[in-house]
Amino acid sequence: MVLLEIVSRWLHVGGAIVLVGGSVYVRFVLMPAAARLPDAEHAQLRESLRQSWAKVVGIGIGLLLLSGFFNYIRAMGQKPGGLYHGLIGTKMLLSFVVFFLASALTGRSAAFENLRRNSRTWLSVTITLAAIVIGLAGVVKVIGRGTPKANDVSHSPSAVSTAVADTASR
């Protein structure tokens, strides 16, 4: 089970890194550079990138949902306190807003064309919300595990190594 938890964590953190990092790159590097292109070339580049990035966004959101749900179910077995639940609920709600905006910005639906026309603004909003989600993730990770006691070795590197070795030997 430890190996499954490690893989889930890697998928969750890795998916967030790719999606948020890619969004920051698009907003602050690619968009300003592409703005210097002639209109026809800019439109062609934008559509080509939208198609490619939409696939990455879709896969990333799927991985984040699956691994996030798994991580949440595992954390509930540890019975964290009320503050944890409030923060994780806020994190989840903000994540769904981020997923919606990312999907709308990379999608083809005419209903969200206004968002795509103002993509610079909405991508900045998406990145800001994602940064808040990441900050909340760090807080709930610390709150969820509690403060280890001086004689508690369950958080020590050797305890982790032992748990991984036990899993590998099974």
Domain ranges of the chain: 2-147
* Distance of alpha carbon 27 from alpha carbon 118, whole angstroms: 12
What do you get for the CA distance between the two ends of the chain, in Å?
10
Q: What is the mean pLDDT of the chain?
A: 87
8, pLDDT greater than 90: yes
Question: Would you say residue 170 has pLDDT above 70?
Answer: no
Q: What DSSP state is assigned to residue 110?
A: G
Please give the Cα distance from 91 to 89 (Å, whole number).
Answer: 5
Nearest Cα residue to 94 out of 123, 62, 127: 127
Q: Which residues contact 53 (CB under 8 A, 6 or more apart)?
A: 22, 26, 106
pLDDT (0 to 100) of residue 84: 86
pLDDT in tens, 104-154: 999 999 999 999 999 999 999 999 999 999 999 999 888 866 655 444 455
**Rounded to an integer, what distance in angstroms lies between the CA atom of residue 106 and that of residue 56?**
10
Q: Phi-psi region for residue 134, left (φ > 0), alpha (ψ -120 to 50) or beta?
A: alpha
